[in-house]
Structure 1
Amino acid sequence: MKEYFSIGETARLNHISIQTLRYYDKIGIFKPYYTDQDNGYRYYHVKQFFYLDIIKYLKCIKTPLEDIKRIISHTCTPERMQTFLDEQESVIEREMERLERARQLLHRRKNQLHEQVEIRTKKEEGLVYVRHIEGQTILKAATPQVNPHDQSDLYYRKLAEVLEERGDMVDNYYGLIYDLKPYKDSGDIYCNSVYTTIHDGVKIEIEGQNMTIDSFPSGEYVCISFDCSVTNYFSYYQKLYHFIESHGIQTDEKVYQISLPNSYDSLREEDFLTEFRVRKK
């Protein structure tokens, strides 16, 4: 029975590339049984394939090459391998948690984009409308003396910092909350807080950061949507306010403003779809 195999045969039999075998040889992870001194050809013994399977297994469970080199050394015992696998299991579990957060973030963003498409359709009609909005958990930061036209980006950045510290991300969904009143112009509007949506049940350390975890209440909302600019902002607010007043609609007297990007190019002029929402009692 054949015992020695060339690098090409070894690669083919073990479903691994020749380049990888050469690299393993270079860094001392898996070396050929012998090298022909005349032509430099590498040859592997069939008994080595078992140990190559160990390396492939360790790679499959996301073990760094540096750790693999340490594990396959002659000093590694079954006891040490068991300890390492316990450690690696913890690494994989943390990675699974990270991927699950990424999946949840992706789903939230997809749902938001679906909602944005619906809002754009309403915007084209140019009318006040009523729609049902599901409740959402939000992370909220107090914003004293912040006008909707002021630079509220630093407050949004504070929200992002808190989420990123726990390995989460802001999902491009920012909002403002302020009182529903008969303002004379948009310069009289001051926001109570800014917020972003977060996953239900999330645990965030917010002590001393002037933030709260709250909920965006489920219910029927009177809404109007538009492509936001400083010049048209107040006219849309007035249109919504007068509609509510003229129809005698009872509300919780809060405006929830959301802004969603129409473009993703940071060098272009800001282009946001904005919706004002006021919940009916």
Structure 2
Amino acid sequence: MAEFTIGELARLTDVSIQTLRYYDRIGLFKPVRVDKQNNYRYYDVPQLFQLNTIKYLRYFGLSIQKIEQLLQADAAQQVTFLQQQDQQIDAEIQRLQAIKQLLQGQQQQLALKQQLKMQLGQIYERQLPVQRYAQQACATVITPKDRPDVAVSQLVQLVKTAGSRANLQYGCAYPLADYESLTAIHYQYLFTQLFDEQVVLPAENQLILPAGTYLGVAFHWSHAVYLDYLQQLKAAYVARQGKLPATVYEVSLLDGYDYQNDANFITELRVRLD
């Protein structure tokens, strides 16, 4: 029967000589014989199939220990193992798809930030598609003068419990009305956009904003100008719609990486037009 040196086998199977020596050392794949005079390793033809099987299993990402166990298993055990691998691959595909959707969502938010920076201080209209959010009702009074860190943490945990990860943007909602001060504005709920289509939430924690035309105004976050821009938005809304009530959706985007500086946030106040 034909035999191959370790170098010939390496060329035939595209497995390095170092890897073949390692497999020999740990007992996973040993040569059919070793020349006692020169210690050359020799392999035979049937071992080509065995080595290709090991390569195949390594391609699956199996550890050496798992491969050793599988090579010694019977046919039924091998079928069970392959079914388990199939399920794990499906789960990994879903995980990567969720990551991809989140990355695409972050790209959309970055594009929105650049768009808003060109419209700061202006009342504008823009079209929005259907958007899906996770929402968390405010258990305590939260106003634009408060830092809603605890409520945001609860919102993040809500999304995490559903098997996903919250993005870096969150928003607050409250009724459009005449307000004499920021402390008179009480957020009804906080929300964060969901980009993972697989996320399932209880009905009370889901917010679907329909597609349509939204009226908005954007500005660098500041208590000093917030109320003025809100009043401008309300006046523009009433001029177009001629009626209330309506809901204000306040969304803040970080312009940079300094979370401690409120001025680094670009805030958009938006109201949907009927």
TM-score (norm 1): 0.84
Per-residue CA deviation, residues 119-152 of structure 1 (Å, 9 max, x unaligned), is 22222xx311111222211111001311123221
> What is the rounded CA distance, in whole Å, between the counterparts of 1:18 and 1:231 in structure 2?
71
**Equivalent residue letter for 1:128:** I
2:254, 2:265 within 8 Å by CA — same for their partners in 1? Answer: yes
2:146 alignment counterpart = 150
Cα pair distance change 1:101/1:200, threshold 3 Å: closer
1:95 alignment counterpart = 92
Q: Give the drift of 1:196.
A: 0.9
Percent of aligned pairs with the same amino acid: 32
> What is the rounded CA distance, in whole Å, between the counterparts of 1:21 and 1:262 in structure 2?
53
**Equivalent residue letter for 1:89:** D
Residues 227-242 of structure 1 aligned to structure 2 (within 5 Å): 227-242=220-235
1:83 alignment counterpart = 80
**Equivalent residue letter for 1:130:** E
1:98, 1:167 within 8 Å by CA — same for their partners in 2? Answer: no
1:277 alignment counterpart = 270
Cα pair distance change 1:206/1:24, threshold 3 Å: farther
TM-score (norm 2): 0.86
2:249 alignment counterpart = 256
> What is the rounded CA distance, in whole Å, between the counterparts of 2:123 and 2:273 in structure 1?
14
> What is the rounded CA distance, in whole Å, between the counterparts of 1:38 and 1:234 in structure 2?
91
> What is the rounded CA distance, in whole Å, between the counterparts of 1:269 and 1:29 in structure 2?
58
Which deviates the most, 217-226 or 64-73? 64-73
1:28, 1:69 within 8 Å by CA — same for their partners in 2? Answer: no
Q: Does the alignment pair 1:117 with 2:114?
A: yes
> What is the rounded CA distance, in whole Å, between the counterparts of 1:14 and 1:91 in structure 2?
28
Cα pair distance change 1:194/1:45, threshold 3 Å: same
- SS of equivalent residue, structure 1 residue 191: coil
Unaligned runs of 5+ residues in structure 1 are none
Q: Does the alignment pair 1:5 with 2:5?
A: yes
> What is the rounded CA distance, in whole Å, between the counterparts of 2:176 and 2:27 in structure 1?
70
- SS of equivalent residue, structure 2 residue 108: helix
What is the count of residue pairs matched by the alignment? 272
Residues 1-281 of structure 1 aligned to structure 2 (within 5 Å): 2-6=2-6, 8-35=7-34, 42-73=41-72, 76-123=73-120, 126-143=121-138, 144-199=140-195, 202-206=198-202, 211-245=204-238, 249-250=242-243, 252-264=245-257, 269-270=261-262, 271-281=264-274
Cα pair distance change 1:5/1:46, threshold 3 Å: farther
> What is the rounded CA distance, in whole Å, between the counterparts of 1:218 and 1:254 in structure 2?
15
Cα pair distance change 1:40/1:121, threshold 3 Å: farther
- SS of equivalent residue, structure 2 residue 166: coil
- SS of equivalent residue, structure 1 residue 183: coil
2:2, 2:44 within 8 Å by CA — same for their partners in 1? Answer: no
Which deviates the most, 93-102 or 158-167? 158-167
**Equivalent residue letter for 2:112:** E
**Equivalent residue letter for 2:154:** K
**Equivalent residue letter for 2:122:** L
> What is the rounded CA distance, in whole Å, between the counterparts of 2:23 and 2:175 in structure 1?
66
Q: Give the drift of 1:245.
A: 4.4
Cα pair distance change 1:215/1:34, threshold 3 Å: same
